[in-house]
Structure 1
Amino acid sequence: MADPESIKKALQKEMSVYQTLQQELSKFVKTRTELSARANETDIVLEELKLLDDDANVFKSVGPVLVRQDLVEARSNVTNRLEFIKKDLERLDGQIKSLEGRMMEREKEMMKLQGKLRAAGGSGASA
């Protein structure tokens, strides 16, 4: 049987790795929320641009100045921006899924170590 102290140290190490993964997941989720909001806003802008007549005046903000922009160009720019945001969301979803998988592995490992610690006569709750 393994030494309870070495099991406790291994469990603490796993818990530390797990907490780091949780922090990383929290950052990814926050970023995803922000990107999702930007995607929604951009989608609304695109829908509004679709409602305009072809001869409508469209302006974009360039610093403190509003500059006239062609409606077709504006639609194209907003469509491209929306595509980029959606690609970023897909990439981020993949990273989140991968991170969640790594967290599940750490959870399983922590449970194994807690079982070994109990079997070795130590207290799993203290770690």
Structure 2
Amino acid sequence: MASSAAFRDLQRDLETRANELSKLQKEIASHHQRRKTYTIQLGENELVLKELDLLNEGANVYKLIGPVLVKQDLAEANANVRKRIDYMTAELKRVDGILQDLEAKQNSKKDGILKLQQRLQSLQAGTGKA
């Protein structure tokens, strides 16, 4: 009888850990999506910076604000794009750090679940023999 109560407790614990792992995996997926977005935006801004570097000093630069193109100074446009690149690079580093931490937690949870499953199997094998 005591073994069946222990078995139920282990099953409940396993279910709880599996749910925690599932939540963690969803959070990891969300951060991967965020990382992908920043990577795409960074690439686009680096391309814009290359194009701006090709322009002459007196070239006209326009910025799209809503449905309107607004004339902008080349130096100002260059500075704005560089700031965005710096911001996105910093965000990518931050998201990478978060992902490393979450993936370490995920691996730890997986190990815990595996050990719990092994305990359940050994308990089942012991109960089946008795």
The TM-score, its normalising length taken from structure 2, stands at 0.90
2:96 and 2:26 map into 1 onto residues whose CA distance is 16
- Map of 2:90 onto structure 1: 87
Which 5+ residue runs of structure 1 have no aligned equivalent?
123-127
- Map of 1:77 onto structure 2: 80
Cα deviation for residue 77 of structure 1 reads 0.5
2:94 and 2:68 map into 1 onto residues whose CA distance is 34
The more displaced of 61-70 and 20-29 is 61-70
- The runs of at least 4 aligned residues of structure 1 exceeding 6 Å deviation read none
- Percent of aligned pairs with the same residue? 32
- Map of 2:8 onto structure 1: 5
2:35 and 2:117 map into 1 onto residues whose CA distance is 34
More helix by share: 2
CA-to-partner distance for each residue in 1:84-118, whole Å, 9 max, x for gaps?
01111111111111100110110010011011101
The amino acid that maps onto 2:99 is: I
- Map of 2:19 onto structure 1: 16
The amino acid that maps onto 2:44 is: E
1:97 aligns with 2:100: yes
When Rg is computed on C-alpha atoms for both structures, the one with the higher figure is: 2
Q: What is the alpha-carbon root mean square deviation over aligned residues?
A: 1.3
What pairs with 1:1-127 in structure 2 (closer than 5 Å)?
Answer: 3-121=6-124
- Map of 1:125 onto structure 2: none
